[in-house]
Structure 1
Amino acid sequence: MTNPHLAEYSRRMNRVLDHIDRHLDAPLDLATLAGVANFSPFHFHRVFQAWLGETLGDYLRRRRLEVAASTLAIHPDEPVLNVALGVGFGSGEAFARAFKSRFGVTPSEWRRQTPARWQAELDAIRARRMQNRNPDQPDRKHDQAGAGAAGHDEGSSPDTEISMNVTIQTLPPARVAYLRHIGPYGPALGQFWRGHFAPWARTHGLSGNTSYGIGYDDPSVTPPEKCRYDAAVEVPADFVATGEAGIADLPGGRYAVARFSGDVRTIGDAWMTLTRDWLPSSGYQFDNRPCFERYTGAPDEDTSREDFSCELCIPVRPL
């Protein structure tokens, strides 16, 4: 049974992380964030470091640079200065220094290298598939997905080709309750859904509701142990979150939606194919809303790896 005090602690701290992501372009002082968590400002920096394993200042700097790196990659026409200001840097020069210190290249170089980085990742996927066809190659590896998945499991990726049948849809906004996982994407997410989220959803009578898997971080940019993922389910307006569960509004709007069906061990490859192969030739670009997986009901503990389906949804706007 979850310790109710620990659950409340986690819920408050997750509220702070959500607030930070929504206000990266604004000053984020300790007193304000302590107020979001309803903790004492005097002790909040110690509480934050103990919970997340890094200081508040280090976390803010990391998130600003990671969001900037993703923005530079997926919005090639956005001026670098606008990207810098959008994540809270006061000048382009300060941003360039901090960015190069973190990623080893200037923001402009990072942007120029994006097609080559994405192609290298696609080549790695294709090489892994070819390796999986060869039974004499025993060293099979399970990579992390860019957005996570409810059903990621242990084992190698099977011999499955990914095809994209993508439609552009306008999805309504959704009010969701979520439980958060912080750590590497991959097999741990399947364990999180089966062992933690699905029992919680069933206990609260939510198992039949539309649910979502929301990965907030790119593990090629964010350290795997810092990646955040929400398992979420739609809830009515009067639903009250307790313990570690949080409430969020998932924005509606235009999304590219691809139906995935098959072995869950290939879902990471499907995300990669959708976002870094289909999207560049589609006439669309990423919009500033989260990507997510959408399920017709909360995947339960007995979800089969061979009979798994969901919709992969990425927010888009025209080029």
Structure 2
Amino acid sequence: MVSPNSRSEYESRMHRVLAYIDQHLDQALDLYTLAEVAHFSQFHFHRLFSAWMGETLGDYLRRRRVEVAAMRLAAQPRSTVLNMALSVGFGSAEAFTRAFRNRFGCSPTTWRMQQATQRRANSNPGQVNSKMSQAPATLSAEHVAFRTPNMEAIMNVKLIDRQPVTVAYLRHLGPYGEPISLFWQNTYYPWAVTNKLLERARYGISHDDPSITAAEQCRYDACAEVAPDFVASGGAFKATIPGGRYAVLAFKGGGEQVGEAWAALLRDWLPASGLQLDARPCFEYYPTDAACDPQTGAFECEICIPVVPL
């Protein structure tokens, strides 16, 4: 019989490997290196990974590389296919195109054109802008205003420099949307009560783009900001959200609208910003004073994406 502590240790090590992979997609990720990250023997790691993830290490690496590239293709239209291939660890545009076509059924160039067409068709700037509010004035920031031909309104995005923060988190694996709301209510809330974390700032980390990754493979972390020496328990794990420069868009609305705000930031603002994503995770930040209306389901948060110069 596997003890809960033993299972938690296995899961913690696998989370560490997945985070390492996402942070080093542009590098060679060999079995030896990843086994070292997991603190498992190289001889057994491949089998353990396949059993835990339901796909081989090689299949997982190829999937993550092309899925991250697919998101960047839409968000960084001025980057070449070759540069995109190199940024996720492919040695050539040809190898990248083959892998991309196997996953999405079309070439990277066609995918990018389809995403641009869909973005223009779905553009509803008045609605998106009406759901944005100014972030708390306590965050000093550089305001960036931007306009596209499809947007009559100006979207205000702030560039801020965040410090690294330690979080304790619970992971949800599966579809986003309503299941995430239920996860916060039914899983995170009781855990936060037990650990006296209700008054701490919260973070929601979406590790996958649900428009690209299969719903059953999407990962989401519900996090509470904690002290570095906090001891995680109750199925929780600890991680550090990296510091650095982030583009921040304040959101106010319901769960059905937050996806529109994410799309507006990633698909409309980012391509015209002169910036690009890097390997740090995107997340939603919920300050301690963030409002939430249990009657309507409306809530406030800051959508944060990591950015570096293009």
Is the structural similarity TM-score above 0.5? yes
SS in 1 for 2:169: strand
Report 1 or 2 for greater relative contact order, CA contacts < 8 Å, sequence distance ≥ 6: 1
CA RMSD in angstroms comes to 3.1
Aligned to 1:26: 27
Query: Which residue does 2:189 correspond to in 1?
Result: 198
Task: Output the amino acid matched with 2:97.
Answer: A
Question: What is the aligned partner in structure 1 of residue 214 from structure 2?
Answer: 223
1:209 aligned partner: 200
In the alignment, the residues of structure 2 paired with residue 242 and residue 19 of structure 1 have an alpha-carbon distance, to the nearest angstrom, of 22
Alignment of 1:234 with 2:214, yes or no, is no
In structure 2, what is the equivalent of residue 97 of structure 1? 98
- 1:114-143 CA distance string (max 9 Å, x none): 3113234447xx8xxxxxxxxxxxxxxxxx
CA change 1:269–1:82 in 2 (3 A) is closer
Determine helix, strand or coil for the equivalent of 1:259: strand
Contact 1:256 1:316 in 2 (8 A): yes
Q: Offset at 1:242?
A: 4.6
Structure 1 residues 28 and 266, CA gap change in structure 2 (3 angstroms): same
Q: How far did 1:287 drift?
A: 2.7
Question: Equivalents in 2 of 1:278, 1:25: separation in Å?
Answer: 25
Q: Distance in 1 between matches of 2:32 and 2:294?
A: 44
Are 1:183 and 2:184 an aligned pair?
A: no
Structure 2 matches for 1:74-85, cutoff 5 A? Answer: 74-85=75-86
Match of 2:15 in 1: 14
Asked if 2 retains the 8 angstrom alpha-carbon contact of 1:15 and 1:246, the reply is: no
Number of the residue aligned with 2:255? 264
> Separation in 2 of the partners of 1:223 and 1:85?
24
What residue in structure 2 maps to residue 56 of structure 1?
57
Q: Deviations over 1:44-85 (max 9, x none)?
A: 223222222211111111001111112222122223222212
Aligned partner of 2:105: which letter? G
Aligned length: 281
TM-score (norm 2): 0.78
The answer for the alignment partner of 1:108 in structure 2 is: 109
Q: What amino acid sits opposite 1:5 in the alignment?
A: S
Change (3 A) 1:80 1:279: closer
Q: Given that residues 75 and 271 in structure 2 are in contact (C-alpha distance below 8 angstroms), is that contact kept between their aligned partners in structure 1?
A: no
1:278 Cα deviation after fit: 4.6
Q: 2:242 aligns with which of 205, 227, 251?
A: 251
CA–CA distance in structure 2, aligned partners of residues 284 and 78 of structure 1: 11
- Contact kept, 8 Å, 1:264 with 1:305, in 2: the verdict is no
Asked if the contact 1:9–1:244 (Cα under 8 Å) also holds between the matched residues in 2, the reply is no
Residues of 2 paired with 1:308 and 1:99: CA distance?
Answer: 37
| Shift in Å, 1:258 | 2.7
Does the residue aligned with 1:178 lie in a helix, a strand or coil?
strand
1:302, 1:6 → 2: CA distance?
A: 37
Q: Is the contact made by 2:76 and 2:270 (CA closer than 8 Å) also made in structure 1? A: no
Please tell me whether the aligned partners of residues 284 and 301 of structure 2 are also in contact (alpha carbons under 8 angstroms). yes
Q: Deviations over 1:125-181 (max 9, x none)?
A: x8xxxxxxxxxxxxxxxxxxxxxxxxxxxxxxxxxxx99654343333322222221
User: What is the letter of the counterpart of residue 314 of structure 1?
Assistant: I
Q: What is the letter of the counterpart of residue 277 of structure 2?
A: D
Deviation readout 1:196-235 (Å, 9 max, x if unpaired): 2222223222221111001121112111111111111211
Name structure 1 gaps, 5 residues minimum. Answer: 127-161
Tell me, in whole angstroms, the C-alpha distance in 2 between the residues paired with 1:28 and 1:317. Answer: 23
Q: Work out the CA distance in 1 between the residues paired with 2:19 and 2:76.
A: 23
Gaps of 5+ in 2: 128-152
1:22 to partner: Cα distance: 1.3
Asked if structure 1 preserves the Cα contact closer than 8 Å seen for 2:75 and 2:266, the reply is no
Q: Distance in 1 between matches of 2:235 and 2:25?
A: 24
Residue identity in the other structure for 1:105: C
SS at match of 1:167: strand
CA distance in 2: counterparts of 1:163 and 1:260, whole angstroms: 15
Q: Distance in 2 between matches of 1:164 and 1:105?
A: 32
- Is contact 1:16–1:36 with CA below 8 Å preserved after alignment? yes
For 1:103 and 1:307, the matched residues in 2 are separated by: 35
Partner of 1:68: 69
8 Å CA contact retained: 1:122, 1:272? no
Shift of residue 280, structure 1, vs aligned partner = 4.9
Do the aligned partners of residues 6 and 196 (structure 1) sit closer, same or farther apart at CA in structure 2, a change above 3 Å counting?
farther
Q: Which region of structure 1 is more displaced relative to structure 2, 252-261 or 59-68?
A: 252-261
Q: In 2, Cα distance between the equivalents of 1:105 and 1:265?
A: 29
Equivalent pairs: percent with the same residue? Answer: 54
In structure 2, relative to structure 1, the CA distance for the partners of 1:291 and 1:90 (3 Å cut) is same
What letter corresponds to residue 74 of structure 1 in structure 2?
Answer: A
